[in-house]
Structures are given as structure tokens and as C-alpha cells.
Amino acid sequence: MKTVLFFARENLASLYGHISENLSSSYNIVFVAYSEKEEKVLREQFQIDKVINFKKVLKNTLNIDKIDYLLLDEIDHTMSEMTDGRFTLNSSIQSDRGFSILSYKESLALVQTYYLIWEELIKKYDVNYFIHEFVSLSMNHIASIVCKKNNALYVTEMQVRGIDKFNLLFINFENGIPVELRNTYNNLEKRQIVQNISKINVFLDIHLNDTQAFFSYIGGEKFRFIKLIKQSIKEWIVCILKKNKYDKILDNIDYYLLHSKSASAKIINILKYKLFIRWDIPQIKDTYYYYPLHLEPEATVNYLADGIYKNQIKLLENIAAQLPAGTYLYVKDHPHDIGYRELNDYLKLKAVPNIKLLHANISGNTIIQNSKGVITLNGTAGFEGILLGKPVFTFGKAFYSVSPLSTYVHNIRDLKEKLLTQFSEEERREHLNKLVLALINSSYSGNTNCFYGAKNKLKENKQNIINLQNSYKLYLDKMSTYVK
């Protein structure tokens, strides 16, 4: 019997509690709760007796004054080997936003402790599947590295466009590439595509007629600003009440988030935008490529894009420099989180002659339709570009990277030549049909966004829970041939 380890943090404790109910007869289940809060949910809501408390183990293992440099060399080598050179120990540390408040020695102590904890747990319980969120911090980045080292599959999920209203795609390890989707795509034959062309066309009809951004934000600027004011007040109150609750090392990410006061910073930034930024208006006569800014700090920037594009402003300056003469770069920020970016970032972009800075509320779908192509790190706008028949260029890897319709740019100086990549309409449609069918065959029912903070009632929706339970079991059963 194979073993599934659930690492439950925040609302994932509830999600994983539900999912485990459908797996317990077929798999050995190991629960690791991030803290006492998640442990309490698992024990009281789901009557799970055996729960490992991650923070307690961390506290008992961590020794700031004892740095094992031979072990750090091993971690550095393992990280480079398991990521095909994409990460080193130091680049992983730099990618963790919580480590910005720590000294280098403190960061090294935490990294080696994370490594020791996951190495022991994965080996002790002979783990085959490690279930958690996207790699977003050092503690889960190390987990994904140790999983790959020990032939265990690190599993997370993301919402994707599908035939159903809500669909899931399971992603693996630290690079965001779905093992199942890649293998499904590579093994598809032309006859299978022909046999399923009606299903492919249904998918395309649904999404080509959908002009709304994927998981677009609902609510106007006024609503958002009022919400931010409420969040800011709450942040200050919570910070005062919990001022001495967290240790900056043992509770690193909690301490960082508590003291960052992001809502207050957003309010100040939004007021600065109104005073000093004049947004550009899209022009039909313009020849342009489109770059949708990624939220920062985010997993897509810090880890899924190899940790080397955290400075998107400099990247955008370099992209604009590589474009053909007379070509603009349209840049638009993410509509889900207005105000996170410093005013100076926008001023730098406005200073570049062939960059046009658009307001975040403008439809990205419309911008893509009139563009020459989409340039991104690894965002869903790239997939929207593929669906709309546009060339797509990525500086990181995304789920749609399995298709040649997405061109990977390893070095900014290669971009100008890569922009010449073209397919005939027949070739493009063949590749598109193959990607869509592979996605349909690798997608599952259910919505997990409600467990990541999305405001809807799906968290309590029984049918959604049943869909998620069935989807996880089906996926794990199918992937049994890919794990030890």
C-alpha cells in the first residue's frame, strides 16, 4: 500500500481532511500539520488522531549555533542536481520572502533543519506522494527537492480552463510542469485527436467566446479601496494583539506576514498612482506584444520562474529593447491585487519610450486579441494567447510549455530571434488540438480556490467536496506507475 503525506497549512487542513476520507482504505495516510491551529482542525473536525506538528518538530530540531557546512554542501549539490541546475542553495534562500528579515546564518540554519525534517519523514514513512500547495517558500521548496531525491511525487493543484465550470490540473515539484499532462501530451496519436475533435471544439467554443479574464476579480475600484481600508485596520489590530506571539525564525513566514502590513502599503501606493500615474490607452493602430505583470512576491515569480526574474521591471526594460523597431510592449498589472507595487516601478516603465502602461482593469483578453503575441514568465495569459492563436514566449515553465506553441526563452538576448518563430495555420491548429485534448484528458473536477482564500460558498458545497475527493483518488491511482 502506497503512502500519502499531507502537509496541511492554513485552510488546506480542511481540504486535506476531506480528501483523506476517500483515500484511507487504499493508502497509508500521514498528516503533518503546520502548527497547533491546523492540528486542532484535523483532530477535532476530522477525528484524525495521528498528526505530526511541524512547528514542534522544527523547534526541537533547530539549532542556530550549529551549522553543518558539510550538510549544506550536500543540500546545495542535491538542489542543483534535482532542479537540473535551476536552483542552488543560495538562490533558494533569496527566493523565500520570509528570509528577508533573517541573517544569512539564521537562513542557513532554517534550510538545513527543513532538509533534515523532510528527509527523516519521507524516509521513515516511505512516502510516495507529498500533497501541499505550490512551492512558495523554502520549507516546501526543500520538501519538493527531497521528494524528487527519494522518488516521491510532490503534488499540488491549480484551477484551469476546462469543459466543466471548475477543473483542476495537478502540478508537480518546483518547476510547475504536470507530469501527467506532459506524458499524456507526448503519447497522444493523431487518430485519437481525430476521434475526439468534437470534444476539442466544444472546449474551444467555450473559451474563445469567453471574453472575461480567467478568475477575474469581481468588484470595482471603490469597493476594493474600502475593502483595503478595512483590511488595514484589521492588520494593525492583529499586529498589536499578536506582537509577541511569533518568533522571526521558528515562525518565519507568520512573523513576516504579520509585520508586513500589506493592506496599508497598498492604500498608500494606490493614492500615489492617482497622483502621479497617467495610464496609457490601447490604440488599435499600435503594433505591440503584451506582458501581464505577475504579482510579487508570488510562487510564479520566486520559484516557478527559477528565482531569477524577481525584478520584472528590469526584465521588461530588456524585453522592450529587444522588440522590432516601431513595436510597443503593452504592460498591465494583475487585476486581483491592485496596489502591491511601488510607484517607482511604474515610473520606470513609463520612462521607456516603447512601453505603454495600461490600467489593470482593462480586459487582458481584449489586449491579447489585438497583439502580435504574449510574453510572460509562466502565467495563464500565455494559455489564453495560445487559445487565441497568438505566439507565446515564456521565461519560465508553465503547464502549456509541453506544447511547441509556447516558446521558452532562456536568455533575454535570444528573444529577438525567438520572436520570428512561426507556424502555418494548419500546424498551429494541429498543435492546439493536441494540447487541448491532453489538457482535457489530464483535468479533474472540483474547485480548490475556496481553500486558498477565494470568497465563495464552495468550501461548504457537498458536491464540490465529493468531486475533489474523487479527483484526488483518481489522480493518485493513475500516477501509481510514476512513483517508487
Average of per-residue pLDDT values in the chain: 92
Alpha carbons 256 and 139: distance in angstroms, whole number = 14
Name the 3-class secondary structure at 293. coil
| Tens digit of each residue's pLDDT (9 = 90 or more) over 323-356 | 999 999 999 998 877 888 999 999 999 999 999 9
| Amino acid present at 429 | R
| Residues 6 or more apart in contact with residue 30 via CB below 8 angstroms | 3, 4, 5, 6, 50, 52, 121, 125, 127
pLDDT of residue 211: 55
Q: Which residues pair with 356 in a beta bridge?
A: 330
Q: Decide if 405 contacts 435 (C-beta within 8 A).
A: yes
Question: Which class is domain 189-210+279-441?
Answer: alpha beta
Domain spans of the chain, in order of start: 3-187+444-478, 189-210+279-441, 216-276
Name the 3-class secondary structure at 97. helix
User: From the CB of residue 408, how many other CB atoms can be counted at a distance below 10 Å?
Assistant: 16
Q: Which residues pair with 170 in a beta bridge?
A: 157
**Count of alpha carbons within 13 angstroms of residue 479, beta-carbon side:** 27
pLDDT of residue 238: 82
Alpha carbons 187 and 63: distance in angstroms, whole number = 49
Cis ω for the linkage preceding 297 (within 30 of 0) = yes
Number of residues assigned to the chain: 484
Q: What is the pTM of this model?
A: 0.92
| Tens digit of each residue's pLDDT (9 = 90 or more) over 371-413 | 999 999 999 999 999 999 999 999 998 999 999 999 999 999 9
| Residues 6 or more apart in contact with residue 274 via CB below 8 angstroms | none
Alpha carbons 212 and 286: distance in angstroms, whole number = 23
| Tens digit of each residue's pLDDT (9 = 90 or more) over 218-268 | 345 655 778 888 888 888 888 888 878 899 999 999 999 888 878 888 999
